[in-house]
Chain A
């Protein structure tokens, strides 16, 4: 379109600025890849240099020996995030539907209450949370990481999904009502299928939240190594004497690869979905 057209110089400016912006965003990853490819001895002694003759994949082989449970940690991270996402969605879908469609006493107040939960990250409530989890005998189990994760993602989930459900035409539900369908049946068979694009967006956002923020609950509520998620497990590369940085970076990059691949497939929905969510009218 004419209005969006940029002159040649403007284009160069936009590309240059975009390059700088993305450099800031991607620099740590570039650096992590560089470090993971170099032998430890050279990393510590040689002068700083961009390129090096000694690039090798040795660290990617050695890391499995240095931290034998690495595979478990990668799995645990994905498992915990998946469990959090599934449970959160099961809880969030009906609640978001209620806020999008039904009128009931204390609706605004309770929604505000949910949103206020955002003010309390886990770190503020750790002490009693520890006791709650102990009472429920969940300490040092997967549940110790899953249950708090779910609770802190529920408010955002309800908030995001509600705006998607509001956009589904009411007429479809009313038609199902007239045909004598029960409310639950309508929710399951009419609303949820129509909301699939929104569910993917909210599910992805919840997954990202669950995957990104496992560290605190893991280091506080769990000390069983076998079920530790990746961010906590990685600290085994950090020794008292020396840290094998190249293996640590290799392990970190390997660990996030499976999720990054899945995310590559989902990102299209996410960007499109966020956009759709922003267009409220």
Chain B
């Protein structure tokens, strides 16, 4: 028996392995094709265009001129700084609010099934529609927020939150957090429910407080999910277009113009394709650098907590 198995196995495995390769690539081929045509080729083309002065009229090779102009423009660096500030602030808030929300939804209270459903709408509806609701609430003449602030006597006059630079920026942040929180909450909740009950019981028997269990069991156990949600969320927030576009179109006076809004304005609204492409390339390089750094960090966190 053993003899037969030993002599037959290598040959069968080899045949299987060869066909495995071909079969695997066959299965992946349709997905690869989509990505090649819709993502990879346009990406290469964007890189090429960034070295031209392409407009609707035609294009000439201009070398690194677009980049030189971009990097020499103090406004551009202001936009880069604003984009990172936007990303860090919005993502931190999403993670904190999501963690609080998930903890609440994870509590053993009657009605939790209903609460879990009620948290989902902002995630399920088109982003643009949620933004229309917020745009209304922010307006100064009849908006809810302005109305409430007056009612409670916090302000004398109507406040048009999207009309001044600082308030417009933070209003956009709040809406972005609102759009992103439900998904973060649900993933955290799912991760919390995956934590082994034995750990909690052991700690409980030892007399550990609820806060201690949260800090020393829940957080470390769901850390891998927190860290990967943070990365995904950071990338989406960095590239968040619809929210800002619908609320302010990047205004007032550029206060909410992030890299992606600037790119859209230059490339699509003004149809200066070459300059727009250079901005798009900068976004890709910044995000790639950020992600690689982050993945390295993720790797260390995972190793530290012994998760896979």
* In contact, A94 and B28 (Cβ under 8 angstroms): yes
CA distance A125 to B35 in the complex (A): 12
Q: How far is the CB of A72 from chain B (nearest CB, A)?
A: 16
Which of B3-11, B62-70, B79-87, B113-121 interfaces with chain A?
B113-121
A21 to B112, CA, bound (A): 13
| B142 close to A17 (CB less than 8 A) | no
B124 on the A face (CB < 8 A):
yes
Task: Please name all residues of chain A whose beta carbon is closer than 8 Å to the beta carbon of B142 when the two chains form the complex.
Answer: 43-44, 48
Q: Mark B194-237, 1 if CB is under 8 A from A, else 0.
A: 10000011001000000000000000000001000000100110
Q: Does A241 have its Cβ within 8 Å of any Cβ on chain B? A: no
A274 CB to closest chain B CB (Å) equals: 4
Bound: A123/B240 CA distance, A = 9
Q: Which residue of B lies closest to A45 (CB)?
A: B142
Q: How far is the CA of A4 from the CA of B197 in the complex (A)?
A: 11
C-alpha gap A155/B21 in the complex (Å) = 21
Which residues of chain A are near B101, meaning CB under 8 Å? 21
Q: Which of A51-59, A60-68, A102-110, A192-200 contacts B (4 or more CB under 8 A)?
A: A102-110
A224 within 8 A of B: no
CB of B151 within 8 A of CB of A48, answer yes
Quick one: given A14-B104, A31-B133, A94-B30, are A119 and B127 in contact (CB under 8 Å)? no
Chain A residues 52-104 with CB under 8 Å of chain B are 77, 90-92, 94-95, 97-99, 102-104
Asked, given contacts A31-B136, A151-B38, whether A114 binds B118 with beta carbons under 8 Å apart, the answer is no
Residues from chain B with a CB closer than 8 A to the CB of A274 are 186-187, 189-190
Residues of B in contact (CB 8 Å), total: 96
The secondary-structure label for the interface of chain A is helix
Determine which of A131, A158, A214, A278 lies in contact with B225 in the assembled complex, contact meaning CB atoms within 8 Å. Answer: A278
Give the Cβ gap from B37 to chain A, nearest Cβ, in Å.
6
User: Is B104 a contact of A17 with CB atoms below 8 Å?
Assistant: yes
Q: Quick one: which of B27, B225, B288 contacts A97, CB cutoff 8 A?
A: B27
> A34-55 CB contact bits vs B (8 Å, 1 = yes)?
0100000001100010000000
Contact B41 A126 (CB under 8 A): no
Tell me, rounded to whole Å, the shortest Cβ–Cβ distance linking B293 to chain A: 13
A226 CA to B182 CA, complexed, in Å: 32
Q: Which among B249-257, B276-284, B298-306 touches the partner chain? A: B276-284
**Residue numbers in A under 8 Å from B181 (CB-CB):** 25
Q: Are B134 and A91 in contact (CB under 8 A)?
A: no
The reply to whether B109 and A271 form a contact with Cβ atoms under 8 Å apart is no
Judge whether B124 and A154 touch: CB under 8 Å.
no
Contacts A128-B46, A263-B120; A275 near B193 (Cβ below 8 A) = yes
Query: Once the chains bind, are A14 and B144 in contact (CB under 8 Å)?
Result: no
Determine if A121 and B268 form an interchain contact, defined as CB atoms under 8 angstroms apart: no
Which of B24, B201, B260 has its CB near the most chain A CB atoms (within 10 A)? B24
Distance of A208 Cα from B92 Cα, bound (Å)? 24
Tell me which residues across on chain A come within 8 A of B284, comparing CB atoms: 119-120, 124
B190: min CB distance to chain A, Å: 4
Q: Which residues of A contact B100 (CB under 8 A)?
A: 17, 21
A245 part of interface (Cβ distance < 8 Å)? yes
CA distance A73 to B272 in the complex (A): 31
Known interface pairs A6-B108, A11-B109, A278-B193; A127-B49 also in contact (CB < 8 Å):
yes
Of B38, B120, B136, B191, chain A has the most CB atoms within 10 Å of the CB of: B38
Q: Which residue of A lies closest to B139 (CB)?
A: A245
Please pick, from A5, A105, A271, the residue contacting B190 in the complex, using a CB distance under 8 A: A271
Select A103's contact among B20, B37, B130, beta carbons within 8 Å: B20
**B77 contact set on A, CB distance < 8 A:** none
- Please name the 10 residue pairs, one residue from A and one from B, whose CB atoms are nearest each other, closest first: A48-B147, A28-B133, A151-B38, A231-B128, A128-B45, A128-B42, A94-B27, A104-B24, A4-B108, A274-B190
Please list the residues of chain A having a beta carbon within 8 angstroms of any beta carbon in chain B: 1, 3-6, 11, 14-15, 17-18, 21-22, 24-29, 31-32, 35, 43-44, 48, 77, 90-92, 94-95, 97-99, 102-105, 107, 110, 113-114, 116-121, 123-129, 131-132, 147-148, 150-152, 154-155, 158, 183, 208, 211-216, 220, 229-232, 234, 245, 248-249, 252, 255-256, 259-260, 263-264, 267, 271, 274-275, 277-280
Show 15 A/B contacts (Cβ-Cβ < 8 Å), sorted by A.
Answer: A3-B201, A15-B109, A21-B101, A28-B134, A77-B126, A95-B31, A98-B24, A104-B25, A105-B21, A127-B42, A127-B273, A129-B38, A231-B127, A245-B136, A277-B190
7 additional contacts (CB under 8 A) given A17-B100, A127-B273: A21-B119, A94-B31, A102-B20, A116-B291, A121-B241, A271-B186, A279-B194
